[in-house]
Amino acid sequence: MTVTSVGNVLSARNVVKIFAREDGTPTLALADVSLEVSMGEVLVLVGASGCGKTTFLRLFAGLELPTAGEVQRFGRTVTGPAAEAALVFQSSVLLPWRTIRENVMLPAEIQRRKGSEWRDRATELLEMTGLAAFADAYPRELSGGMRQRASICRALLLDPPILFMDEPFGALDAITRATLNRELYATWRHTGKTIVFVTHDITEAVRLGSRVVVMTPRPGRIAHINEIVIDAESYDERIESQQYVDLLRELEHQVHVITSTTERDDGSPAAADADLVR
Amino acid sequence: MSEPPLKTLEVEAATSPAVEAADGTRQLEELKRLVAGRRWYYALWARIMLGAIPLVALTLLWLIVSAHPPHGALQYAAPRIQPTLTDLKNDIVGQSPIVRSAILLTLEETAIGLVIAITAGFLLGVPMGLVRLVDASLYPIIVVLQAVPFVAITPLLALVFGFGIGSKVALAAVLSFFPILLNVIVGMKRIRLDEIDLLRSLGASRAQTFLKLRLPRAFGSIFAGLQVGILFALLGAVIGEIVGGAGEGNGGLGVQLTIRTQGLDIPGAFSVLIIISVMAASLTLLVAAMSRLLTNWKEL
């Protein structure tokens, strides 16, 4: 095996993933995909439903294992989930019988890390995200955006170097999403985490990404890798820059080309995607 | 202590009525204070009152009909053996030593039977709900056994488990076992894939996933099973007594019911029936209350 170069947090080499559909037919979800993620970057995977972007993320996270090829995390072959990476899902996945604080503290509990410092850490994170007043509330009492903030707090609790985010703001309204994009950008600047972010929202991709990978559907392949180099000091500067606007247009174009060439196999792509993921 | 700030508020309100009227915070606070912590209390009362109306109406009807037995054609509609409420009251109060020991005995049989059923239900239901192989291999047996009319073989049970408490406990356990088992299985299968993914991503062990996720998720279903199961356990105990007899002593409520029915002591039989019904209702309410305490959360 080749040794991963320094700075590569994650790498996928010639990864193939085949799933069995519900009727047993094998389906090719990812075909020969290779990608490296370097330390501290926000790598965004964009593509239409069914393009295997979620599958790709789950392979990096160790929730799925590749049919062929290899996925490495910090130079070691991924064989399952690890504490050095945390996941944020599309729905907040807060356990409804736990208070927000108890939900945020779940990772420490599972890892059997005792001590009051985790409670303090949870409080600190909840304060940072403006949820301090809801620490003892139950998830049902919070809005969708607040729940997603809480689930990000949970992911940050053990301070893992890697965050995997699977369409974390996909179920939120556009205004809340914009706010959370801004907050996540600030968190990233502040903590320097390596983030792999799956979305189908191009704007979100350009707002957050250091690199944006555009994928094609059925089977999932990498179509374009866009380096995003915007020399901006702040988020506002970033989204007002000319590069931002240009990249948005470029991505729009890339996605349009892909969808117009892979069109007309419309076997309800959303359902197909759900099949593949599970 | 809190006097001064209150006064200042009043002064402010008095001096600037226009501002106070425009912004609704004071009214909001008043309403909040009025409602705070009482909503569930009102809801509970409303439910109790609504549930009580038909009960009271039925009791009144009974009272009227038994005090003024109908004549003419209607007399055949209302049974003449119907005791009056006073009969029942005297009977329930008057017979207390025997009835009390009968209540305790029946409760004991119900409780032991239920504990056995819960233990067996969990021991079988958890592996069946979690492991598909176990489920596939045991399910046919369970279905067949469930179809056995255990009430009909009560005399057989008495032969096997004796004429004392044993056969009653056995019937209580067997009857309450199936609803509990089936609901434990259903509860174990009530999982959400994203929650399983979350626990996996956090590196949870199987035991942790069970305790922190599957069990709390199953609570609702398990309590639904218990609610039916506890009724079946009581029913099993009473039927066991009716068929199997007292063994020794005065026997449980089922025995008392048989003795009184055969002695044509109608008010006596009715009072035993009422006691059994009240016990059944109380046990169900008890389980419902426990369920509310333990699953006091709503889905998102």
pLDDT above 80 for A170: yes
Chain A residue whose CA is closest to B220: A97
How far, in Å, CA of A86 to CA of A159, rounded? 9
Q: What is the mean pLDDT of chain A?
A: 85
A147 touches chain B (CB under 8 A): yes
How far, in Å, CA of B240 to CA of B159, rounded? 12
> Are B203 and A81 in contact (CB < 8 Å)?
yes
E strand or H helix at B143: helix B132-147
Chain A residue whose CA is closest to B218: A97
B190 touches chain A (CB under 8 A): no
How far, in Å, CA of B234 to CA of B108, rounded? 10
Which residues of A59-139 form beta strands (DSSP E)? 68-73, 76-77, 85-88
B206 touches chain A (CB under 8 A): no
Note whether A111 and B202 are within 8 A (CB): yes
pLDDT at B107: 94
> Tokens for A160?
């893992």
> Are A87 and B298 in contact (CB < 8 Å)?
no
pLDDT tens profile A56-97 = 999 999 999 999 988 999 888 888 888 889 999 999 999 999
Taking residues A123-143, report their average pLDDT.
Answer: 90
pLDDT tens profile B120-137 = 999 999 999 999 899 899
pLDDT at A259: 79
User: Distance, in angstroms, between A110 CA and closest chain B CA?
Assistant: 6
Q: Is B165 left (phi over 0), alpha (psi -120 to 50) or beta?
A: alpha
> Are A87 and B197 in contact (CB < 8 Å)?
yes
Residue B111 burial by Cβ neighbours in a 10 Å radius (0-12, 13-18, 19+): middle
Which residues of chain B form beta strands (DSSP E)? none
Contacts with A96 from chain B: Cβ below 8 Å: 297-300
For chain B positions 52-91, those within 8 Å of chain A (CB to CB) are none
Closest CB to B193: pick one of A62, A109, A278: A278
B18 touches chain A (CB under 8 A): no
If you compute the radius of gyration of chain B from its CA atoms, what whole number of angstroms results? 28
pLDDT at B247: 72
Alpha carbons within 13 A on the beta-carbon side of B120: 18
HEC profile of B193-231: HHHHHHHHHCCCCHHHHHHHHHHHHHHHHHHHHHHHHHH
> Tokens for A220?
């999932």
> Are B202 and A111 in contact (CB < 8 Å)?
yes
Per-residue confidence in pLDDT tens, chain B, 300 aa: 444 444 554 545 445 555 455 678 888 888 877 777 666 677 778 888 888 898 889 888 877 777 777 676 666 655 556 676 677 777 776 667 888 888 999 999 999 999 999 999 999 999 999 998 998 999 999 989 888 888 888 888 888 888 888 899 999 999 999 999 999 999 999 888 999 999 999 988 999 999 999 999 998 899 999 999 999 999 999 999 998 877 777 788 999 899 888 888 777 888 888 889 999 999 999 998 888 887 766 665
A83 touches chain B (CB under 8 A): yes
Contacts with B198 from chain A: Cβ below 8 Å: 87, 89, 93
User: What ipTM score was computed for the predicted complex, to two decimals?
Assistant: 0.85
Entry pTM:
0.76
Mutate to test the interface with B, among A84, A87, A148 (most CBs of B within 10 A): A87
A12-16, A174-178, B174-178, B262-266: range with lowest mean pLDDT: B262-266
pLDDT band at A274 (very low <50, low <70, confident <90, very high): very low
A278 touches chain B (CB under 8 A): yes
pLDDT band at A2 (very low <50, low <70, confident <90, very high): very low
> Are B194 and A93 in contact (CB < 8 Å)?
yes
pLDDT above 80 for A235: yes
Strand partners, A226: A212
Distances (CA, A) of A177 to A169, A172, A205, A214, A251: 6, 6, 12, 21, 19
B36 touches chain A (CB under 8 A): no
Contacts with A110 from chain B: Cβ below 8 Å: 199, 202-204, 208, 212
As a whole-number percent, the residues of chain B with pLDDT over 90 amount to: 35
pLDDT at B6: 47
pLDDT tens profile B196-229 = 999 999 988 999 999 999 999 998 899 999 999 9
Q: Which residues contact B193 (CB under 8 A, 6 or more apart)?
A: A278
> Tokens for A49?
């439903």
Strands A42-46 and A194-199: parallel
Task: Please give the single-letter amino acid code of residue B238.
Answer: V
Distances (CA, A) of A204 to A44, A186, A197, A247, B119: 9, 14, 10, 12, 53
pLDDT at B180: 95
How far, in Å, CA of B211 to CA of B202, rounded? 15
pLDDT at A271: 40
Fold designation for B79-298: MetI-like fold (1.10.3720)
Closest CB to B200: pick one of A81, A111, A278: A81
A61 touches chain B (CB under 8 A): yes
Contacts with A97 from chain B: Cβ below 8 Å: 216, 295, 297
Q: Which residues contact B107 (CB under 8 A, 6 or more apart)?
A: B279
A140 touches chain B (CB under 8 A): yes
Strand partners, A8: A38
Contacts with B199 from chain A: Cβ below 8 Å: 110
Chain B residue whose CA is closest to A144: B300
> Are A139 and B300 in contact (CB < 8 Å)?
yes
B197 touches chain A (CB under 8 A): yes
Chain B residue whose CA is closest to A278: B193
> Are A140 and B201 in contact (CB < 8 Å)?
no
pLDDT at B60: 84
Contacts with B297 from chain A: Cβ below 8 Å: 96-97, 138, 140
How far, in Å, CA of B101 to CA of B92, rounded? 13
What long-range pairs does A203-206 form, CB within 8 A, spacing at least 24? Answer: A203/A248, A204/A44, A204/A169, A204/A177, A205/A44, A205/A46, A205/A251, A206/A244, A206/A247, A206/A248, A206/A251
> Are B195 and A82 in contact (CB < 8 Å)?
no
Contacts with B208 from chain A: Cβ below 8 Å: 110
Nearest in space to A253 (alpha carbons), one of A228, A235, A227, A226: A226
